[in-house]
């Protein structure tokens, strides 16, 4: 709650959960509409290591649903990846929000993230004549080495073989 004071004077705050929901929601009312003007273009904020989605209450149902319309999943993340770990990358690729879900039993981050974009074009590979030079989701996967070919077996075998040869009996000194 105190984090949200930096945006303006809070008139009221209510934290609640919808029935059978896995997340909590908060309804924060400011004494000035100016306090929430930034959230017309900024869809989320980072509080500690968590990305919190922000939707102004005065939005229509269509405006609210448009903020949940273009979501993709980034899978095979390194263990213990948190929302904040993806912040710079998602910002660089135009993402509006990121969410790495937590396990309900252990509260450890799962190995995937939901990335919210503002349009369908941000989710698809670029087409001919498109100004973007690459698909942002593919670039995120590349950055995290997701679905990248593993080190070749031949290279792996040769390096382990050279290590084992240096320790072998032929290379040891006699006393």
146 pLDDT band, cuts 50/70/90, is: low
Residues forming a β-bridge with 109: 102
60-148: CATH number: 3.30.70.330
Among candidate residues 55, 62, 43, 25, the one with its CA nearest the CA of residue 122:
43
- At residue 139, the pLDDT reads 66
32 pLDDT band, cuts 50/70/90, is: very high
pLDDT digits 0-9 by tens, 56-74: 999 999 999 999 999 989 9
For 78, residues 6+ apart whose C-beta sits below 8 A from its C-beta are 111, 144
Q: What is the mean pLDDT of residues 99-114?
A: 92
Indicate if the pLDDT at residue 128 is higher than 80: no
Domain ranges of the chain: 60-148
44 pLDDT band, cuts 50/70/90, is: very high
Is pTM beyond 0.75 here? Answer: no
Hunting for tokens 């040869």 — which residue is that?
165
């Amino acid at each position: 709650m105190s984090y949200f004071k930096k945006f303006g004077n809070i008139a009221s705050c209510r934290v609640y959960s919808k029935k059978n929901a896995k997340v909590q929601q908060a309804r924060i009312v400011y004494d000035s509409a100016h306090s929430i003007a930034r959230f017309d273009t900024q869809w989320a904020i980072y509080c500690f290591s968590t990305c919190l989605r922000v939707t102004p209450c005065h939005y229509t149902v269509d405006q609210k649903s448009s903020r949940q319309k273009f979501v993709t999943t980034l899978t095979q993340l390194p263990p213990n990846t948190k929302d904040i770990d993806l912040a710079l990358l998602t910002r660089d690729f135009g993402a509006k929000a990121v969410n790495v879900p937590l396990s309900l039993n252990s509260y450890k981050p799962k190995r995937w993230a939901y990335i919210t974009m503002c349009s369908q074009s941000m989710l698809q590979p670029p087409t001919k004549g498109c100004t973007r030079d690459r698909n942002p989701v593919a670039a995120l996967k590349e950055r995290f080495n997701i679905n990248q070919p593993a080190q070749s077996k031949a290279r792996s075998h040769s390096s382990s073989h050279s290590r084992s040869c240096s320790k072998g009996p032929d290379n040891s000194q006699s006393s």
